[in-house]
Amino acid sequence: MNMATLALPPKPLARQARGWLVAAICIAVITLMLMPLVMSFLASFRPLAETSAVPPTYLPSALSTENYQKVANYQQGIWTYVRNSALVAGMTIVLCLVLSVPAGFALARFPVPGKEVWFVLILASMMVPYQALLVPIYLMFAKLGLTANHFGLAILHTILQLPFSVYLMRNSFEAVPKELEEAARVDGASTAFQLRRVFIPLALPGMVTVALFAFITSWNEFIGALILMNTESAFTVPIMLTGVVSGDFGSVDWGALQASVVVSMLPCLLVYLALQKYYVSGLLAGAVK
Amino acid sequence: MADAQLRLTSLRKSFGAFEAIKGVDLEVRKGEFCALLGPSGCGKSTLLRLIAGLEEPSSGRIEIAGRDVTMQEPSNRQIAMVFQSYALYPHMSVAENIAFSLEAAGVAKATRLARATEVAKLLQLDPLLARRPAELSGGQRQRVAIGRALVRNPQVFLFDEPLSNLDALLRVQMRIELSNLHRDLGATMIYVTHDQVEAMTMANKIVVMNAGEVQQIGGPMDLYENPSNRFVAGFIGNPAINFLPGAAVGVTAYEIGVRPEHIQMVPADGARLSGTVSLVERLGNQTLVHVATPVGMLCVQGAGRLAASVGESVGLAFDADQALVFDESGRRRSG
C-alpha cells in the first residue's frame, strides 16, 4: 500500500500558550526556591573582607575558603559536632521507627477500641508548640539522668517527631490491600510473620519517609539541644553554628554564616538524594488486579 | 453422609441489622466442583469467606473433612483460597509467592523451592519463577494465585470470582484449565461466580443464591430444566426466560415462563399471542428476535438466520409442555 507521511496539523495556539505559561510558572517557582541557596553558596566563598562590604556584591571577586576554614576549626573542630549530630539523628531515626511502625500497624490493622480517639490524641500533641514542653521535659530528664546525654536528646527529638511518624506509618499500612492480609492469614502466617514478610516490605517507602523526616528534624533542631546539652564537646551542629557566626561585640560574621548554612544543609541534601528512589511509588504494583 | 468434604449447617451471618446469610445448609462431597452462583450482593462471597474463616458466623456450624472448624483460624481449616484480585505479594518472586505458606510454616528453603517448582511446572509457570507479579500478565498472575493454593494441598479449594479480572478470551481458556485441574487433582472446589456460564460449564453442583438464601441446589442442566422457583428460572439461561401472565395465553396459572428457544414465530393471523418485532440481534449461529407484545417484550431465539425484520407483525407460539408454571409466590408448580 502506498503510505504517504501525513504531517500533523499545527497545535492550536491556545494549547501552545498554556504549555508556555505552565513552564514559565515552574521556572519562576524554581528560581524563587533556588535563589537564596545560590546566594548563600556564592557568598560562602567570598573572601573575609568582602563579606560585610557595603553595598554588598553578589558575585565573589575571588574564591576563598576562609569561611569554611573558620567553621571547620571552630572550637572542637566541626567533625566532633557532625559526629554528635549524626549520633543523635541516628538514634532518633531508630527510636521513631521502632515506635511508629508497631503503632501505625496497630492503628491501621487492628480493631483497637477507641482507636480514632487515640489517633486524634496523638495528632493533637502536634498542636502544642514544643518550646512550651521543654521546661517540664528538662525537669523530668534531669531526674532520669538524661540531660547532657545524646540518648536523652534523641528521646526529645523522637517526642517531637513521633506523632507525624505514627500518622505516616498508619497511612502506609492502610495502603496495603486487605486481600494481601487475608491471603497471608489463609496461608497460615502469624501476625508477626505478616508484619515482617508482607507489611514492612510494602510499607518501606513510608518507613524511609519517617526516617528522612526524623533525620531532618533532629539534624536541624536547636533549642532542645541547647537546653539539654551543657558541655561544648557534646554540642550538635546547629549550636556550634550559632557560636561560629557571632563575631566580636555582637556583630554577625556573614561569611561564616553562609558557610555554616551550606555545611548544615549538605547532609540533609545527601540523605534525601540517597533515599529518594524509595519515595517512588508503585511498590504495590501487581498486588491486586 | 460420610464423604461430605464440606458441610454447612444452619449457617447465619449478620452485619449489624443486615442479615447477609440467612441460614444456609449445604453439603459438598469429595471431588465435587461446587459453584455458588447469584447476583452481586446475594451473599455468595460472604458465604465463601465464612467457609474460609475470614468472617465469623453469627450462628451455625462449618465442618471440613469431618472436622468442626467453625471457630478455627483460616490456616487451621485445610483450605486454600484464590482471591478475585489474586492478592499476590508484589515484592516477592513467583517462587516466593507460591511457597509463602510453606515459609510461614517454617519449611526449609530447599524443600520450599522444590515444592514451588513442582507446582509451577503443573501450571506452566516454571520459566517465570524468578519474576515479580508486576512483570506477569493477568492470566499468569491468576495461575500464580492458583499455584499458591495448590502448594498447600488443601482439603477444599475456595475460589472467589477468580476469572472476573480477565478478558473474555483468557477467561474461556482459564475455564478450561481450571476444569482440567479439577479433573486431574480430583480436588474439592468451591467456586463463587456471578457468571452463569462459568458455573454451568465448570461445576457439577450449582448453588443458586439470592438475598442471603439458597434458592436451589442442583446440577447445571437440572437447574436449567427444572428450576424450583421464578428466581432460578430467571437467573439461569441466557438470553433470559420470558415470563408472561398465565391468563394471557389461556393457561390456568398465575405466571408462566418460556425459554426463548421454545418460542416459534408464526403468521400473525389467528395466533393467540402476537406483536411487533422491535429488535433483531444476529449472532451468526443464532438470531434473537425481541417482540413487543401486549404482555411485554418477549425474546425468541432461533438457530441460524431467522427471517425477521423490525416493524414486522408476528404471531408467537410455544408448546405448553415446555412452559414452566409458577404460583403467586414465585414457586414452581408441576404441570
Percentage with pLDDT > 90 across chain A: 39
Residues B327 and B185 in one domain: no
Nearest by CB to B87, which of A179, A189, A201? A179
Contact A244, A253 (CB under 8 A): yes
Counting Cβ atoms within 10 Å, is residue A54 exposed (0-12), middle (13-18) or buried (19+)? exposed
CATH number at residue B307: 2.40.50.140
Domain match, B13 and B97 both: yes
**Local confidence pLDDT in tens for the 335 residues of chain B:** 457 899 999 999 999 999 999 999 999 999 999 999 999 989 999 999 999 999 999 999 999 999 999 999 998 999 999 998 889 999 999 999 999 999 999 999 999 999 999 999 988 898 999 999 999 988 899 999 999 999 988 999 999 999 888 888 888 988 998 999 999 989 899 999 999 999 999 999 999 999 999 999 999 999 999 999 999 999 999 899 999 988 877 777 889 999 999 999 998 887 888 899 999 999 989 999 999 998 889 999 998 888 888 999 999 998 888 889 999 888 888 75
Is the minimum CB–CB distance between A196 and chain B shorter than 8 Å? Answer: no
Number of domain units in chain B: 2
**What is the predicted pLDDT for the residue at B293?**
92
Same-domain pairing of B135 and B155:
yes
Residue ending a domain, choose from B212, B234, B256: B234
Do both B299 and B322 map to the same domain?
yes
Shared domain check, B191 and B295: no
Same domain, B244 and B185: no
- Same-domain check for residues B288 and B172: no
Chain segment A207-231, per-residue pLDDT in tens? 988 998 999 999 999 999 998 888 8
Asked if A289's CB is within 8 angstroms of B165's CB, the reply is yes
Spell out which residues of chain A touch residue B84, defining contact as CB-CB under 8 Å.
Answer: 179
Question: Where a domain ends, among B191, B219, B234?
Answer: B234
Interatomic CA distance for residues B93 and A228, integer angstroms = 49
Q: How far apart (Å, rounded) are the C-alpha atoms in residues B309 and B280?
A: 7
Q: Model ipTM?
A: 0.84
**A193 close to B (CB below 8 A):** yes
CA B263 → CA A24, B79, B298, B326, distances in Å? Answer: 70, 46, 9, 18
Residue of A nearest to B96 (CA): A197
Coil vs helix vs strand at A16: helix
Same domain as B272, residue B224: no
Q: In what order do the strands lie in the sheet with B188-193?
A: B79-82, B156-160, B188-193, B33-37, B205-210, B213-218
For residues A244-263, average pLDDT: 79
| Residue among A179, A198, A284 minimizing CB distance to B83 | A179
Residues B276 and B196 in one domain: no
Alpha-carbon distance B196 to nearest alpha carbon in chain A (angstroms):
22
Per-residue CA distances from B183 to A266, B114, B116, B154, B202 (Å): 65, 24, 21, 15, 10
Residues of A with CB below 8 A from B83's CB? Answer: 179, 182-183, 288
Query: Per the CB < 8 Å rule, is A186 touching B86?
Result: no
Q: What CATH number does the domain containing B189 carry?
A: 3.40.50.300
B15 plus B127 within the same structural domain: yes
Q: Domain containing B293: what range?
A: 240-333
Please indicate, yes or no, whether residues B268 and B132 belong to a single structural domain of this protein: no
More confident residue, B198 or A64: B198
Percentage of chain A lying above the pLDDT 70 cut:
93
Nearest to A283 among B90, B148, B152 (CB): B90
d(CA A150, CA A155): 9
Q: How confident is the model at residue A10 (pLDDT cuts 50, 70, 90)?
A: confident
**pLDDT value of position A287:** 52
Asked which of B234, B250, B272 is the last residue of a domain, the reply is B234
Residue B158 in grid coordinates? 475456595
| Min distance B91 CA to chain A CA atoms (Å) | 7
Q: Is B79 in the same domain as B175?
A: yes
